Amino acid sequence: MRIILLGAPGAGKGTVAKLLTEFDGSVQISTGDILRSAVKEGTPLGKKAKEYMDRGDLVPDSLIMDIMEARLQEPDCQNGFILDGFPRTIPQAEELKKLLAKLNLKLDFVANLDVPRDVILDRLTTRRTCCNPECQAIYNIKSNPPKEDGTCKLCNHETIQRDDETEAAITNRLETYNQKTAPLIGFYEKEGLLKTFLSLSSKDTVADIKKTLQS
């Protein structure tokens, strides 16, 4: 499959993407992951990105697109890819369209994960993350809690509530999403690629996406 996952913070994009990779061997790609990988491997593009990141600046779209182009041409993308949370803006979407045409790659569709605001707030305010940088396992104190003492089941490090997952921070993130990323829904609707899925359960959403792919 070749799809893009859109959705607000807390919509479950990462979980859905991970479950979909098990379906047909497609790889999950997020900009955060490919930037970190390029920096860690010390590629020429990674070194450029690191300069921006070390200064606390946003990595420019042109550099992100160059790194994305390199990533999409790696052998593991031959089975397909799931773009998780990318593009984030209309300019990125326009550049991605050009890049896919250049690489002769065609999207199956763009999956918009639609989740009510109260569900998102509940999901994110109850999320806990392992503080070990090598682990960063994600838990939910309601549906998938860490150990009773609050430590990670995988590495025994403390789990924490991230600063950007308090109710005030989430409200701000949702406002940013509505301003910058939500317009992509209209963009991909005009492209004839948009499919919207009510995403209250990641497993149900994955089943619905599979049905759409097979129809």
Q: Choose the catalytic residue: 18, 36, 173, 195.
A: 173
Specify whether 127 is catalytic. Answer: yes
**Catalytic annotation on 173?**
yes
In whole angstroms, what is the distance from residue 174 CA to residue 212 CA?
28
pLDDT recorded at residue 96: 96
Cα dihedral 211→110→187→66 (10° resolution):
-170
Q: Would residue 128 show up in a list of annotated catalytic residues for this protein? A: no
The predicted structure's pLDDT at residue 189: 95
- Identify the CATH class of 2-26+79-214: alpha beta
pLDDT of residue 73: 94
Angle of the 117-125 helix axis to the 167-180 helix axis, nearest 10:
130
Known catalytic residue: 117? no
pLDDT at 155: 96
| Spans in the chain with pLDDT lower than 70 | none
Question: How much is the pTM?
Answer: 0.81
- Beta strand ranges found along 35-163 (DSSP E): 81-84, 109-114, 127-130, 138-140, 159-160
User: Of 114, 99, 111, which Cα lies nearest the Cα of 19?
Assistant: 111
Q: Does residue 88 have an active-site annotation? A: yes
Name residue 138's beta-bridge partners.
129
> Pick the catalytic residue: 98, 102, 162, 203?
162
**Which residue of the set 13, 71, 123, 128 is catalytic?**
13
Selected catalytic residue, list 88, 153, 195, 210: 88
Query: What ranges do the domains of the chain cover?
Result: 2-26+79-214
pLDDT, one tens digit per residue, over 158-183 is 999 988 888 888 888 888 888 887 88
pLDDT score for 180: 80
